[in-house]
Each structure stands twice: as C-alpha cells, then as structure tokens.
Structure 1
Amino acid sequence: MKRGALPLNALRAFEATARLGRMTDAAEALGVTYSAVSRQIRGLEAQLGVALFEGPRNRLKPSREALVLLEPLTEAFDGIEEAVNRVIQDRRSTIDVSCSGTLMMRWLIPRLLGFQRAHPEIEVRLTANDGPVEFRRQRLDAAIRVGRPPWELPSAITLFEEQVGPVARPDLVRAVAGPADLTVLPRLHTRTRLSAWPDWSAAAGLSLPPGGQEYEHFYFMLEAATAGLGVAIAPRVLVQDDLDSGRLAAPFGFVDSGLAYVLLLPQDARPEVRVFGTWLRDAAGAVSLPVAGAAI
C-alpha cells in the first residue's frame, strides 16, 4: 500500500487499542467515541482482509497479523509525536523536569527563583515522579533520581552523595546525650524507605527496638518531625534549609548512605536543557553536605 493511501486514522485507532488493550481506553486516549474506534478498526480489517483482534470486547487479544503491525506503528507514532513536541518546545523554550515530590518541594522549588532570574527565557515545568525514566515515552527533558551507582543512562550527572541521620525539633532532642537515648523518643518512619532506621542503627552500632509512627510519604514524615511528633532518619539535602533555620536539629550528624542524587539527560538534550543542567549542578555544588554535629 502506497503512503498516500495509508488509512492513518484507522491505524491510530488500531495502535491505541492494541497497546492499551481496550477500545474504551483507546477512545479516551484519542479523544473520540468508542463507536468511532470500533468503526475505524472494522474498516481497517476489511481493507487489510485480516482479523486484527480476538476474544471478548473487554479482553481483546491482538491477532498474529496485528502483532506484525503493532511495534512499527508504535515506533512511528512515537517518532511523529516526539518531532511535533520538539518543534513546539523549541519555540517556547519550555523544559519538562521530573523528580521526587519531596526533593521538589524541599530543595528544588526553593532554588528555582535563581534559575528564573538568570534565564527568564526558559520555563521549567516540574513533574513529581521517582520511577524509571523513559525520555521519549514520558515527554521528559531531564530527570533527577536517587539511587545506587552506576546508572545505565550514559548522560548522568552526579549532583551530591546522600547522607542521612536522625533529625527532630531542637527542643525534643535537647536532653538527648547520645544515640542510644533515641530509644526514649517516638521514631518516625516512611513507607518509601522502611529500612532507614535499621540501616542507620547498624551504622551507629545500635540495636533499636521496633515501633514508631509510619507515614505514607517522605514529606509527611518530615513535616511530622518539624512539628515535634518524633525523630526521623532523613537525607540531609531534604532538611538542609530546616537545619539552617533552626526548625530541625541533627544532634549526631550524618553518615553516607551509599546512594547519590543524579541528573539524567537524554543524549540529544536541547541547549536550554543543558543550560538547566549546568545551573542545577552548580546549585547542588553550593549545598554544603559535610558530616555535621557530633559524628557517630
């Protein structure tokens, strides 16, 4: 079939249905009705002379012929989408950056004013996410992640090594003389890093009993600590501003966790994305992260 005769709308309907698994989901993704998707696929099947799906409507299974079409179609539509987005983004100098919600609220956003003043022609749009990075699929220009090196992506810029330690409101730890005294204080946990207290206790040579209050998100746990509800194990970069302002205290300093915060960029990153990367690296370099207080 020649390019000029390709039924592009029908191919889009088929690709979305095969990728998402249901015509209803495909219709929502394409912004059309269910009947429009169904009609397009029936027409495509008639034009190709093959059945593209098998099974009931709510559990469609692509046929063998459909699988031959699906992968190259998805790659083609991804390429078209990326090219169009790149034209739009190049015109308005907008970059999309992804990082964890806690890092975004407690470190990145408070420093973005400096970037805006230095580069008013570049708009930074933030998305809260700390999962795997797929630049093309997620429409991302850059991502900040925390993990254990090495990183698979070739363009990974280390921002800072992570250091962790117990933090609490100053009046709560004023009478605490040593790490062992933490057993008398309420301990705060987060579901996103349940090993934080055991890991720190092992590094400190302590054996702390189980127990304490658990929070769903890191940000909630840190807010509980600043409210005086207990003591939390926190990365220093997330509480640096609170330490500087006196809202939190770190009576026993911090130890290396073995993790690192890195900036991930695609290999074909646009110039304005690299400008942001350079600024972010410099901003991270300005963060003082030596071990503080009475070392363990």
Structure 2
Amino acid sequence: MKAAALTSFGGPEVLTLTEVATPQAGPGQLRVRVRSAGVNHFDTAIREGWAPPTVDNSFPVVPGNEYAGVVDQLGEGVTGHSVGDEVFGYCTLGAYAEYVVVSAEQITAKPESLPWDIAGGFSANGVGAHMCLREMKVGPGDTVLIHAAAGALGTFAVQLALAWGASTVIGTASEANHDYLRSMGAVPVTYGDGLVERVRALAPDGVDAALDIAGDDALRASVELVKDKNRIRTMISDELATELDVPAVTPKRSNAQLAELAELHTQGKLRLHIRQALPLAEAAEAHRSIETGHGRGKIVLLVDSAP
C-alpha cells in the first residue's frame, strides 16, 4: 500500500510517499481503508525521532494518529461492526496510509453529516480537548480561558466548554483570528505582555479554569488567574507544570468520547475549520505548514476518494 513514511528522522523532507506492507486485521482488530487523516504536532514529534515509551518506531515509520474511512476487513472475534461501515477514530501510528489496523475500541460510526475531510481530523484534538476539560471539571456557569484558541485543539476546547455549559470562554489568539473566535462564541484576547491584566478586565469575577496550548508564558498566566491549580491543564509545558504543581493530563481515550463528539457535531454544537486539505503525497508540506504555528483550524491529508 502507499503511505507517507519515514526511513530516517529529521525535518519534513524525510516524510516521503512510499510502498509499505499492507496490514492485516488480527484477532479483535479491524482494518480501515483510509479516506482522510489528520495532521498533528504529535506526528511532527514522531518525525523528529520522539516516541512514547511503548511505541516501536523502527523504520519504516508511518505517522498519523487519527483517520476516517471505511471498514474493509474484520479480524476474528470482532462484533458490532461490518465491512462497509463508515467510521472515524484514533491510533498512535499508521494513519498516513491507505489502510490502518485498529481495535474496535478505537473507532465510532461517522455521521452522514460529517464530511470526510473533517472526519479525518476530528478525533485526536477532539478527544484531547475532551480529556482536558473533563479533568478540569468544566461545567455550567464557568468562566474558562483557552490559550491558542484558534488552533485545532483550541477550536474543540472552546466549543466543548460552551456545549457543557460554560457561561464565558475567553480565547487567546492573534488579532487576525479574533473574528473566528467570536464566530464560535468565545471572547477573544490578544497574546503577549499584559495578558493577565487583559483577561482580568474581561473576567472581573475571576477565571475558573484554564487550558494552555501555547506554552510556558500561557501556563504562568493561567496560574496567576485561576485559584485552584487542579482546574488548570497544559498540553505543551509538562516540565513547567511539574514545577508549578499543575496536574498532568491523564491519557484516557475511548470510542465513547468519539461518539459524544459525533453527536455534538450532528447537533450543530461542534464544527471544525479545515485550514488545508492536501493529498497524501504532500505530507511533508502539511508538516511544514503545521510547524509555522498560529494557524486557524485543522490540516488534513486526503488519502483515497473512493474506498
């Protein structure tokens, strides 16, 4: 099968279209013929040589941790799914390819109203935002601060907070993205010096919870603004979080989270802006684009138009 794969670690140029072995579904697994795959900073870290402790990153390495496609093979013991099912889901590696093999726990049904390009970029950031906001106990009446709110993860976090009843969501972003944040129901605020004072002016009664997707300065600002550190999370600054006694995010992914995201999309409460949709052969360009930072919405790879 064709895949955007690595045979060495390095810059975006090491990610090339190549032929790799087509995976087969084993017991308890199913195979998805991929229509689209999301591009994430997790993938760029893999490309540079990082890997979680339990991941084998021996070459060739196929990045990609989210996808949408059609089930085309069932392993022994798989129930509740059929060949031909349209699904979207998550994995750790392997989604930048024509086929990916996963467990049934890693997928959910794709609603008809969810376009293929958006579905391919829906699960990783959506589940990430879901995990963080649940741990932060975001709920009715809260004032929530989301740093880097115009990016893909921020886009999900803003909308989930509002869907779960937050009264006010303040989002940091460059001024070019302020109208985008307003369109989602957030109150925009500009990055940079004086951020704490600007946020306090917008939230005179205080900020209840904050999610950092921007880095150390944003995490420090969050600690100044939020009384209870248990209601702060970062997806960027793990070392500083330890220093500041901010709890780490506990990875807990499931198809129940995917199903909730799908239902919120069907209800019109969750949408995703596609910044770029590139063919699989241009995966390196997708990595160059995501690494520029300050982008609006999601970058996806279009893998196959007719599985």
Fold similarity call, TM over 0.5: no
* TM-score of the superposed pair, with normalisation by structure 2: 0.27
Q: Which has the higher helix share?
A: 1
Larger radius of gyration: 1
* TM-score of the superposed pair, with normalisation by structure 1: 0.28
